[in-house]
Amino acid sequence: MEKISVAVRFRPPNPAAADPSPGGAGGVAADREWRIDDTRVSLLHRAAGPVPGASFNFDHVFDGAATNERVYGTVVQGLIGAVVDGFNGTAFAYGQTSSGKTFTMNGCDADPGIIPCAVRDVFDAVRQTDDREFLIRVSYMEIYNEEINDLLTLEAQKLPIPNRHFGETNMNVRSSRSHTIFRMVIESSSKSQIDSGDAIRVSVLNLVDLAGSERVNKTGAEGVRLNEGKYINKSLLMLGNVINKLTENGKQRGHIPYRDSNLTRILQPALGGNAKTSIICTAAPEEIHIEETRGTLQFASRAKCVSNCAQVNEILTDAALLKRQKQEIEELRKKLQGSHSEGLEQVVLKLRNDMHKSELERDRLAMELEEERKLRMTLEHHLTEQQKKLEGLNNTSISADQFTDSIQLDALKTPDSKDIPDGFVAHRSRYSNDVEFSPMPENLDIVTDEDLWTRLNKGCVTDLDMLEMTPGLKRKASLLQDATSAAPLEETTDARCQRLEKDCISDRQQLEESNARCATLQKECDLLREENLSLQRELSRSKHEADRLIAEKQVQLDDSWAIRAELERDLFSSRQEADRLTAEKQELAGELGTERQKMEELKQDIRVISRAFSQREGQLTSLYTKSKSILENCKASQVGTLP
């Protein structure tokens, strides 16, 4: 789809044009004027500035200084190449009477208009296209009072060249009273033998000069001119209706009234159809024409919204159609077998590989995660153990059951130290805040002495009342009473305590690290799972797309095969029909020959008979003459012998 190209052209101000209406502005400085930029036209009030709602944008805007050559080069020249290449093209001039439509389309000797420039360029383009041969037909017609006249057929109209209807009005001494359509039909086919089966291109170029819309009070039309003006205005109204309908939204648009006038019927392909179209809206710059100019610009704005759908026009012979179908089938087959499907397969394969890799990676990470979890559990367990031991050490000075570990116990043992089977374990239940000495209970004298308790409890004196007596390891009082052996035991326990604390800290660090690693692995695992899912989705989408494309191509291929088969059948039956007709023709020709021969013979017979008849007639005539003279002689002799 491409939009219609719309240009606006202002003619130079006409000094002779005075406002014909009573109280007209002739000679008085205008209050309002049009400001013209490259693509914009706006109405300005000298005192108040831009007039609201009177500003318009177009593809091109030309002021009075623009020549026809420039207008043609900017707006129409591009169409010509397209028309020679097989597209339909239309250019038409629209505007109020005396705004310069005919000047734009026809021009003058010094500045030829669109029609002569277009004809020149069509023939130039044809000359430059070496590989095709062309047939160009030209017609020139007018729509006058809703009747179509051929302007090139002199016999029918008995009008001198130019044949078009012109008439004088107050607005234009030579006002066009009809719409004219200059049409070139361009046919072309390839010169090449190889392409001889190619299509024939047929395109139409319409160059239209519309009659101008007019107001009766300005043109002063009456009688014939008034009647012409009514037809002109009516057909232009129909053109406006078609354009309005075409600019409506697709659903509301409904029926387009092309058939309401001959003008819209002829312009139908150019308006929303199969053609490239350019409209040149001509306008008068004078203040007295502001309302008409505004109407023209509104028409041009609406026309700018119309879209056409131009395509090369080709006529296919059976052979060309068959050739096209074959080419299409070949192309489809290539596409089906070729790079596209291979590419898709490769994509699918790559996706599969990626998915497989990511699955392996995911499994590996899952295993690592499991190992990490196990390690963390072991560490946690170990830590708990260590903490318990540490607490035990903190709570108990010489609680033997806190040293179940034989290595720990060994560290506490002196060479004479021996497990005593029926000894006891003193477990300290709480510390006394104040340093004081409680009386030693008598039954504890075998456990330890007061100093040793004090040292083991780091200065804190045990409330011996609270000591629980548990069966367990018993130590020899003599061993524990030895003051020299108590000091190394105290140092070892502290060192052990510190080591365990250190262990504990490092275990906790390890545990934290392991937890962090575990969380990272978990995240990676989740990401991989997501990636995996998206790869799977992508894979299934690609597969689906590949299947759809293959199915589509298959359908196209099937269709092409079916069309081809049908065409081949048609071709075959056409050939048979042609053979039958040829045979029939030959038979008829034979019969005709025989008939001709017979006729010749008959003619000969007739000639012989005629000759014989003539001879006989001659003989009979002479015989008759002789008999007559004899008879007369006899009569005379008889008369002479009578008495």
Ligand X SMILES: Nc1ncnc2c1ncn2[C@@H]1O[C@H](COP(=O)(O)OP(=O)(O)OP(=O)(O)O)[C@@H](O)[C@H]1O
Which amino acid does the sequence have at 21?
A: S
Q: Which stretch binds ligand X (CB under 6 A): 101-109, 179-187, 465-473, 596-604?
A: 101-109
Q: 67 vs 637, which CB is nearer to ligand X? A: 67
Q: 9 vs 496, which CB is nearer to ligand X? A: 9
**Using rule CB under 6 A, residue 132 touches ligand X:** no
Q: 68 vs 493, which CB is nearer to ligand X? A: 68
Tokens for 35?
């400001």
Q: How far is the CB of 224 from ligand X (least distance, A)?
A: 15
Instruction: Name the DSSP class of 203.
Output: E
The residue within the footprint of ligand X, chosen from 86, 100, 112, 269 (CB under 6 A), is 100
Q: How far is the CB of 285 from ligand X (least distance, A)?
A: 10
Question: Cβ distance 235 to 180 under 8 Å?
Answer: no
The residue within the footprint of ligand X, chosen from 11, 132, 201, 389 (CB under 6 A), is 11
Tokens for 174?
């030579």
Q: 175 vs 203, which CB is nearer to ligand X? A: 175
Binding-residue pattern over the window 254 to 283 for ligand X, x denoting contact by CB under 6 A: ----------------------------x-
Q: 198 vs 214, which CB is nearer to ligand X? A: 214
Q: 100 vs 269, which CB is nearer to ligand X? A: 100
Residues that bind ligand X (rule: CB under 6 A) add up to a total of: 17
Tokens for 511?
């545990």
Instruction: Name the DSSP class of 3.
Output: E
The residue within the footprint of ligand X, chosen from 5, 172, 189, 235 (CB under 6 A), is 172
460: closest CA among 489, 482, 478, 438?
438
Binding-residue pattern over the window 280 to 319 for ligand X, x denoting contact by CB under 6 A: --x-------------------------------------
The residue within the footprint of ligand X, chosen from 102, 261, 296, 308 (CB under 6 A), is 102
Q: 174 vs 611, which CB is nearer to ligand X? A: 174
Strand order in the sheet with 40-45: 32-36, 40-45, 49-57
Angstrom CA distances, 98 to 12, 106, 219, 620, stand at: 11, 14, 10, 91
191-220 residues near ligand X, rule: CB under 6 A: 211-212
Angstrom CA distances, 445 to 58, 185, 450, 475, stand at: 120, 137, 9, 12
Q: Which stretch binds ligand X (CB under 6 A): 96-104, 510-518, 533-541, 578-586?
A: 96-104
Q: How far is the CB of 315 from ligand X (least distance, A)?
A: 36
Q: 95 vs 240, which CB is nearer to ligand X? A: 95
Q: How many CB atoms lie within 10 A of CB 119?
A: 18
Q: How far is the CB of 101 from ligand X (least distance, A)?
A: 4
Q: How far is the CB of 88 from ligand X (least distance, A)?
A: 25
Q: Which stretch binds ligand X (CB under 6 A): 80-88, 173-181, 269-277, 365-373?
A: 173-181
| Binding positions | 95-102
Q: 93 vs 393, which CB is nearer to ligand X? A: 93
Q: What is the dihedral of CA 55, 59, 65, 69, to 10 degrees?
A: -160
The residue within the footprint of ligand X, chosen from 88, 90, 175, 293 (CB under 6 A), is 175
Distance (Å, whole) CA 98 – CA 109: 19
Q: 282 vs 308, which CB is nearer to ligand X? A: 282
Question: Cβ distance 214 to 96 under 8 Å?
Answer: yes
Q: How far is the CB of 61 from ligand X (least distance, A)?
A: 13
Q: How far is the CB of 18 from ligand X (least distance, A)?
A: 15
426: closest CA among 460, 461, 393, 400?
400
Which amino acid does the sequence have at 334?
A: K
Q: How far is the CB of 213 from ligand X (least distance, A)?
A: 8
Q: How far is the CB of 160 from ligand X (least distance, A)?
A: 19
The residue within the footprint of ligand X, chosen from 86, 89, 95, 107 (CB under 6 A), is 95
**DSSP-assigned beta bridge partners for residue 180:** 142, 209
Q: How far is the CB of 237 from ligand X (least distance, A)?
A: 15
Three-state SS string across 220-289, please? CCCCHHHHHHHHHHHHHHHHHHHHHHHHCCHHHHCCCCHHHCHHHHHHHHHCCCCCEEEEEEEECCCHHH
Question: Cβ distance 39 to 74 under 8 Å?
Answer: no
Question: Cβ distance 423 to 474 under 8 Å?
Answer: yes
**Using rule CB under 6 A, residue 98 touches ligand X:** yes
Contacts of 582 (CB under 8 A, 6+ apart): none
Q: 174 vs 596, which CB is nearer to ligand X? A: 174
Q: How far is the CB of 63 from ligand X (least distance, A)?
A: 9
**Using rule CB under 6 A, residue 176 touches ligand X:** yes
Q: How far is the CB of 172 from ligand X (least distance, A)?
A: 4
Handedness of CA 604, 610, 614, 616 (dihedral sign): positive
Tokens for 558?
């099937």
Tokens for 152?
């090139």
**Three-state DSSP state, 55:** strand
The residue within the footprint of ligand X, chosen from 5, 88, 90, 99 (CB under 6 A), is 99
| Binding positions for ATP | 95-102
Q: Which stretch binds ligand X (CB under 6 A): 170-178, 298-306, 564-572, 586-594?
A: 170-178
Q: 179 vs 496, which CB is nearer to ligand X? A: 179
Question: Cβ distance 40 to 55 under 8 Å?
Answer: yes
Distance (Å, whole) CA 329 – CA 343: 21
Distance (Å, whole) CA 55 – CA 52: 7
Instruction: Name the DSSP class of 428.
Output: -
Q: How many CB atoms lie within 10 A of CB 445?
A: 11
Instruction: Name the DSSP class of 126.
Output: H
Q: Which stretch binds ligand X (CB under 6 A): 167-175, 235-243, 356-364, 516-524?
A: 167-175
Binding positions for ligand X, rule: CB under 6 A: 11-12, 95, 97-103, 172, 174-176, 211-212, 282
